[in-house]
Amino acid sequence: MTDLTSAELMIVNAARMLKDGDVVFVGVGQPNLACNLAKRTHAPNLVMIYEAGVIGAEPARLPLSIGDPTLVSGALSVVSMYDIFTNYLQRGNVDVGFLGGAQIDKFGNINATIIGSDYAHPKVRLPGSGGAQEIAAWANRCYIMTPHQKRRFPEKVDFITSAGYLDGKGGREKAGLRGKGPIGVVTDIGFMEPDETGELVLMALHPGKTAEEAVKNTGWALKVAAQLRITEPVTEKELRILREELDPAGIYLKGG
């Protein structure tokens, strides 16, 4: 499958981390495809929640924004934003959150706010948290999906928009966060997981990728597990669902 895109590789591997019955806080774009793919393969009982307040969405078409009307028609419930962030997320009723951002550091902290060192005078102003700050803190487990590029993986982020393992010294526990944090980072090269301090370590490679590539494209001295796993190849069925059913126009499947 030489024509597999980076996006397809990441989406399929992210989908496989979802368990049947998970309640998942879905983001628009690639995470949405991963969740819908999981629901149509190994996790038919996945409950998809969107931050716009939709519970148990079954989108009939590809949602193009976080508040697409297709999410509402046929959903289990629609609630206010205050309800979704309190009753569902803060209370502990969400199993999985998907996160991304401009920068992800060694401890899985994410920056989606500013590039530069001065908040008041940013070099680049990014969109900001949206729901990410609370999803990262309170979902039982989080996954990060991002192309493996050095500029995206600095040793330290310019601004912590959402918490990973903070300084690697038990920062999450001190703040009393209920969620486990980013337990997996899926890239187009492989898979990183936190060690006991929270430092992200290369644990798996996609078929044909090398540890050297991963190290070269990471902004800190990336540790590599002694026994690297190789991820299962993307199947014809997974690709067919993505390309023919979920995103036939290829809006989120092209590129990274």
Q: How many residues bind other proteins, per CB under 8 A?
A: 56
First to last CA, the chain: 17
Among 4, 23, 78, 183, binds other proteins (CB under 8 A): 78
Q: Write the DSSP symbol of residue 9.
A: H
Q: Where are the beta strands (DSSP E) in 89-215?
A: 96-99, 103-104, 110-111, 114-115, 124-125, 141-145, 182-186, 190-194, 200-205
Alpha-carbon distance of 121 to 21, in angstroms, equals 45
Residue-wise over 93-113: b if at least 16 C-beta within 10 A, else e? bbbbbbbbbbbbbbbbbbbbb
Helix or strand or coil: residue 226? Answer: strand
Indicate which single residue of 28, 43, 49, 222 sits in contact with other proteins (rule: CB under 8 A).
Answer: 28
- The correct pick among 13, 30, 36, 113 for binding other proteins (CB under 8 A) is 113
Among 3, 121, 196, 226, binds other proteins (CB under 8 A): 121
185 binds other proteins (CB under 8 A): no
> Whole-angstrom Cα distance, residue 157 to residue 112?
10
* Residue with Cβ nearer other proteins (43 or 137): 137
Q: Which stretch binds other proteins (CB under 8 A): 74-82, 147-155, 198-206, 234-242?
A: 74-82
Q: How far is the CB of 89 from other proteins (least distance, A)?
A: 8
Among residues 186, 197, 190, 126, which one has the least CA distance to residue 157?
Answer: 126
Whichever of 118 and 244 has its CB closer to other proteins, that residue is 118
Report 136-165 residues binding other proteins (CB under 8 A). 136-138, 159-163
**Does 155 qualify as catalytic in the annotation?**
no
- Contact between 124 and other proteins by CB under 8 A: the answer reads yes
Q: How far apart are CA 151 and CA 148, in angstroms?
A: 9
Residue 147 Cβ, how far from other proteins at the closest point, in Å?
A: 16
**Residues engaged in binding other proteins (CB under 8 A):** 28-29, 51-54, 64-69, 71-74, 78-82, 85, 89-90, 109, 113, 119-125, 127-134, 136-138, 159-163, 166, 171-172, 175-178
Q: Would you name the residues annotated as active-site residues?
A: 51
